[in-house]
Amino acid sequence: MNISGQTIDLVSIRIDEKLGCISRETSKPCIFRVYAELRNENEKAYEPQIVAIGPYHRGKNNLQETEKHKLLYLKLLLQRRKELTVDRYVRAIGDLEKSARKCYAETINLSINDFVEMMILDGCFIIELLRKVRFKELRDMNPDDPVFQRDHVIIGIIHDLMLFENQLPFFILDVLFNMTKNQNPLDNIISLALDFLGSRLPGPKVSETNGISADNVNHLLHLVHSSWCYSFARKYPFNGNQKWSLELIKSTIELRESGIKFKNDKESTSVLDIKFGNGVMKIPPLDIDDRTECVLRNLIAYEQYFQGIEPRYVTDYMKLMDCLINSAKDAEILRHCGIINNWLGDDEAISSMFNKLGNNVYTSAMYFCYCDVFHNVNKHCRQRRNIRLAKLRHNYFNSPWSTISFFAAAALLLLTLAQTIISALSYWKPK
């Protein structure tokens, strides 16, 4: 069937119109929705509980109570600064509206007015919250503040501000912060944000700014990621020549059978700093509670969307721990070594968490930051002496009863040998 000339013209016009609507500008968004395969592993890990920041979760019924707090915080900010109107903030953020909109990977179906209002309310809420946490006198000015009256609210807000989908462009926060900044040298947005959010990260507390510039930060989760990985990345800079052989390491139980010992490295400044040498794997302690999975999942999600992050430090750390922990027994051993501080109360829950964290997550074979650890561990396990030791432990020392049986048999053998020697000596002894 031939297509008529009129149909060709209509289709051509329609396609040309659609092509004309595509901007020639190359957009580099930094705030995404988590892709479906990863989200389905644990949807709650990516959903805010108390406060919606930005457009992706805006308008959800369970988050409306905090919208009142946002207005209250803005009102208190204006009163403290003796300002009668938000006019100058609207002008400043209005000039940045197009740039801010481009930071979101999806088309945001909000008018300019609604978008600017959202940026101001969300941004001022965050910066006032950060200041109230550090400066007690600001909390004293409003003792009835509902955010600080209940611990679970403030903890829930920390959780929400580290969600990959629940972010504002950092330059919006920086502009609002500088417009409301006082003369206090401690009034620094990077320092305040890390002091607040870093308290909920597993491992040593992250609060040092490490020279991070606001100009190089995409959003709060990016800031947390940069600071959390900073000391490890600085200690082991990636040179681009490291390659992973795709050979995984064995579980904790199997490595112990090969003679590898596990040691709690309390001196390390980074939970990522895992080392292996002389048959000993040193692992910094990791605190695991009911929010640890959420933090790790969102840091991993952030790494999955940025090809420039090489290596993916948190993803690679998760891969290593997933290899070590295949069962509740593996988790139990690491707990007894002081490597895992289990606040979940169940070793099976620890094992399940790490086994699921790697599902639908891409790990680069070209840029794996623990490739030397994996290589040296596997090299140790391939040595003949260690292979024989592993077989001996597996066959004779894999349970208390088999260990008792081994030593009982050895004792019986020694007694039999001693009896034989005594009999021989008595036979040959001169009369």
Distance CA 78, CA 120 (A): 12
Give the pair of three-digit tokens for residue 314: 């948190």
Kindly list the distances between the CA atom of residue 220 and the CA atoms of 23, 99, 117, 368, 378, in Å, as whole numbers in the listed order.
28, 17, 20, 25, 38
Q: Are 108 and 101 in contact (CB under 8 A)?
A: yes
Q: Give yes or no for a contact between 409 and 397, defined as CB atoms under 8 angstroms apart.
A: no
Residue whose structure tokens are 């950092």:
170
| pLDDT the model gives residue 25 | 46
Q: What is the pLDDT of residue 184?
A: 80
pLDDT of residue 16: 73
Helix (H) / strand (E) element for 410: namely: helix 400-428
pLDDT of 3-31, one tens digit each?
666 666 777 777 777 776 655 444 589 99
* Beta pairing, strands 340-342 & 286-288: parallel
What pairs with residue 288 in β-bridges? Answer: 342
Note whether 275 and 373 are within 8 A (CB): yes
Domain boundaries, the chain: 36-234, 237-387
Q: Which residues contact 196 (CB under 8 A, 6 or more apart)?
A: 129, 130, 133, 134, 158
Read off φ and ψ for residue 275, nearest 5 degrees: -125, 155
- CB neighbours of 309 closer than 8 A, spacing ≥ 6? 303
Using 70 as the pLDDT threshold, list the residues of the chain that sit under it: 1-8, 20-27, 204-208, 237-246, 307-310, 384-411, 427-431
pLDDT of residue 14: 79
Alpha-carbon distance of 69 to 78, in angstroms, equals 14
pLDDT score recorded for residue 157: 95
What DSSP line would sit under 389-405, residue for residue?
Answer: HHHHHHHHSSSHHHHHH
Residues 264-313: tens digit of each pLDDT: 998 888 899 999 999 999 999 999 998 999 999 999 999 999 766 667 89
Whose CA is closest to 374, among 287, 258, 291, 274?
Answer: 274
**Residues 396, 411: Cα–Cα separation, whole Å:** 15
